[in-house]
Structure 1
Amino acid sequence: MFSKCLTNIARFDKRFTENLLIRTLFDAFKKVVPLVIINVYLRLAVKLIFDPSAIVPAIFRIHFRMPVFFQSILALISAFDYLILALVAALWTKSYLEAKLDDLGFAKDELLPVLVNFALALFYGFSTYSNNSQGAMYLIFVLLLTYLSNLTYVFLTKWTRGKLDDFGFAYLFWGAAIMAIVSWIYSSIPSQVSQGSYNGFFSMGFFSHWFGLAITAFLTPVVFVLGFAIPTDLTTTATDLTQVNANLNEVYQSVMATLPYPQNPYSVLTTSAMIGGAGSTLALAICLLFLKRRRLRRLGLWSLVPGVFDSNRILAYGLPLFFRPLMLVPMMLASTYGALMTSFFIKLHVLRPTVFTVPNGTPRLLLSFLASQTPYDALLITFLIMVGSILIFWPFVKALEKEEAHV
């Protein structure tokens, strides 16, 4: 039964990725992987060392008093993030329009739409960035508007039968109109959406029960794969949630007190459903190391250290994970498995929930060990979650390798 389902998912994935739109998009993702690797490791170094509350200074009792430098490097890294997104938009525009216009029998220079979409993607960064916190990056917004821009360019070319000059007034007017409309859309994005924090929402009672947390664990990879930003309350150790504060107050009053909210996003989702990033993708990076194809092994090697520190951006662009049905299924299963395992052991009182704060950059592999009152039980359960996640990902990773071998 499982083998048949896996075969059907792999066939659907192959047909899906052969579509011109998706194929050219995936090519654009893979071309920016070297830049993504540089960006991820640079961000990791800043996160672990130069952040005022980072884990390395906390362990070695080193204090870097460079707030201006820290803010400047954060701004540069954020600019790097948006530059990569802009390059994806530009590369996708070029390859898609080349193939599409060639199919229609038109020979056009795609430089103008490439420049327009590159500039619009950069403007998205300018309109969503905040000095106080990095804006949430919604890949889907940029790609959707890039695609609509490409459609209007194709329509204009078909309507005029390709007779207009590539940089003539008609195309320049098209570019100006597209930039004005899309710039207005980007500037209208509400700050609540662009900053990606939903503290009040995740403080609701629904997220204090296993079923609410299991649903969230199941849907989080879907949100990520579709190109939406994961709420920062799940991607960071959000100890300011109502449930977490209530638990911490109880612990301060009595060390082994009965906690009012033993199951909450911090004690379940952050510690078990997000190991390696959305979809528990550290297990995926480990699986890639044991494949025969060199490209996939190298991708697993590059993504292993960032995966330990809960970043899966290299995998997201390199496989890619974005818009990939074959990868979405194991991500949902592994994430839900981790959440249910943790909820189960908390319910049995084998595991005490995570309640304490930890330095920024602490791996989620060690989060429950460092922030729980039952550290060694937590470490054992994390090990079981990792083993189960690897077993979930393995057949899908083998199917991915087989699919690439026939490309």
Structure 2
Amino acid sequence: MFSKYLTKIVALDNKWVKKLPVETLFTAFQKVVPLVIINVYLHLLIKLFFDPSAIVPAIFHIRLKHLFFAQNLQFLTSAFDYLILAFVAALWTKGYLEAKLDDLGHTKDELLPVLANFALALSYGFATYTYANQSAIYLIGVLFLTYLSNLSYVYLTKWTKGKLNDFGFAYLFWAATILALSTFLYSLIPSQVSQASFNALFSMDFFSHWYGLVLTAIFTPIAFVLGFAIPTDLTVSATDLSQVNANLNAVYQAVMAQLPHPQNPYSVLTTSALIGGVGSTLALTICLLFLKRQKLRRLGLWSLVPAVFDSNKILAYGLPLFFRPLMLLPMVLASTYGTVVTSLLIKFDFLRPTVFSVPIGTPHLLLAFFASQTPLDALLATVLILIGAILIYWPFAKQLEKEEANA
């Protein structure tokens, strides 16, 4: 039964990947992987050492006077995030237009649309970046505008039968119009959306019950794969939620008190559905390490340390995870599995939920161990969740290896 459904998903994935816009986009993703690796490790360096409450100084009781340096490094790495997005837009534009215009029988210099879409993507950073947004990038928005820009260039070329000069006034006017419209649209994005912070939403009682958490576990990987920024309230700002504060106050009054909100995003999602990043992708990284194809093993090695510290960006661009039906299903299954197991363990009192705050950079793999009142039980539960996620990802990883062998 499972193999039957897997075959159908593979067929759908193959059909989707062979579409020209998708094929050229995936090629653009994979071309920027070296830049993504550098970017991810710079972020990891800040997360572990230079953040004001980073885990390494906290563990070893080191006081580093590096505020100015850290702020500048944070700004540079965040700018790097947007630069990578701009390179993806430019590379995608070049690959797509070369193939599309060749099919139409037009020979054009793609430099102008490449530059225009590079600027289109980069202007998104200028319009939305703040120190508070943790580089919450909505990939879907930028790529959607880039695709519309590409289509408009193709239709303009078809309408004029390719007779306009490549850098003539008509194409320059087209580029100026594209940039003006995209800048206007970026200015309409509410600050709450650009910062990906929805504290009031996730503090609702709905997210203090298993059904609210399971729905979140299902939709979070879907949103990630579609290129939406994941709310920071599920990751770096989870301890700011009202349920978490209420639990902590109860513990301060009585060590083993009855907690008002034992199931909440911090005690369930953060500790189980986000191990290694959205979709519990640390399990996928481990699977890649045991494959035969050197390219996939190398990708797993590069992504292992970041995945331990909950970054799956290398996998997202390298496999890719973005816009990939084949990878969406195991991400949803692994996320839901971890959420259901953790919710049941908490509900039937086999596990005390996480209540304490931990230093920034603490991996979700060890979060329950450090932040729960029953650390050994929490560690055992985390191991159980990770093993289950590995079993979920394994047949899909083998399919990736088969596709790589046939490429």
TM-score (norm 2): 0.99
Does the CA contact (< 8 Å) of 2:272 and 2:364 recur in 1?
A: yes
After the TM superposition, which residues 119-268 of structure 1 pair with which residues of structure 2 at under 5 Å, given as runs? 119-268=119-268
Counterpart secondary structure, 1:177 = helix
For residue 237 of structure 1, report the CA deviation from its aligned partner: 4.9
Unaligned 5+ runs, structure 1: none
Counterpart secondary structure, 1:144 = helix
For residue 132 of structure 1, report the CA deviation from its aligned partner: 3.7
CA distance in 2, matches of 1:303, 1:236: 20
How many residues of Structure 1 are paired with residues of Structure 2 in the alignment? 407
Unaligned 5+ runs, structure 2: none
Q: Which moved more, 1:10-19 or 1:258-267?
A: 10-19
Paired residue type of 2:266: Y
CA distance in 1, matches of 2:101, 2:62: 58
After the TM superposition, which residues 265-276 of structure 1 pair with which residues of structure 2 at under 5 Å, given as runs? 265-276=265-276
Residue 61 of structure 1 aligns with which residue? 61
Does the CA contact (< 8 Å) of 2:221 and 2:279 recur in 1?
A: yes
Paired residue type of 2:283: A
Residue 371 of structure 1 aligns with which residue? 371
Q: Which moved more, 1:369-378 or 1:179-188?
A: 179-188
CA distance in 2, matches of 1:373, 1:237: 21
Does the CA contact (< 8 Å) of 1:135 and 1:196 recur in 2?
A: no
State the identity %. Answer: 72
Residue 327 of structure 1 aligns with which residue? 327
Residue 348 of structure 1 aligns with which residue? 348
Residue 82 of structure 1 aligns with which residue? 82
Residue 118 of structure 1 aligns with which residue? 118
For residue 135 of structure 1, report the CA deviation from its aligned partner: 4.1
Counterpart secondary structure, 2:239 = coil
For residue 134 of structure 1, report the CA deviation from its aligned partner: 3.1
Counterpart secondary structure, 1:373 = coil
CA distance in 2, matches of 1:101, 1:21: 13
For residue 133 of structure 1, report the CA deviation from its aligned partner: 3.9
Runs of 4 or more off by more than 2 Å in structure 1? 131-135
Residue 312 of structure 1 aligns with which residue? 312
CA distance in 1, matches of 2:334, 2:171: 48
Paired residue type of 2:263: Q
For residue 131 of structure 1, report the CA deviation from its aligned partner: 3.0
Paired residue type of 2:104: L
Does the CA contact (< 8 Å) of 2:227 and 2:323 recur in 1?
A: yes
CA distance in 2, matches of 1:28, 1:133: 26
Does the CA contact (< 8 Å) of 1:134 and 1:195 recur in 2?
A: yes
Does the CA contact (< 8 Å) of 1:47 and 1:360 recur in 2?
A: yes
Q: Which moved more, 1:126-135 or 1:277-286?
A: 126-135
TM-score (norm 1): 0.99
Q: Deviations over 1:138-185 (max 9, x none)?
A: 000110000000000000000000000000111011111111111111
Counterpart secondary structure, 1:239 = helix
Q: Which moved more, 1:310-319 or 1:125-134?
A: 125-134
Residue 289 of structure 1 aligns with which residue? 289
CA distance in 2, matches of 1:306, 1:11: 31
Paired residue type of 1:325: P
Does the CA contact (< 8 Å) of 2:132 and 2:195 recur in 1?
A: no
Paired residue type of 2:361: G
Does the CA contact (< 8 Å) of 2:86 and 2:122 recur in 1?
A: yes
Paired residue type of 1:45: L
What's the C-alpha RMSD, in Å, of the aligned pairs?
0.7
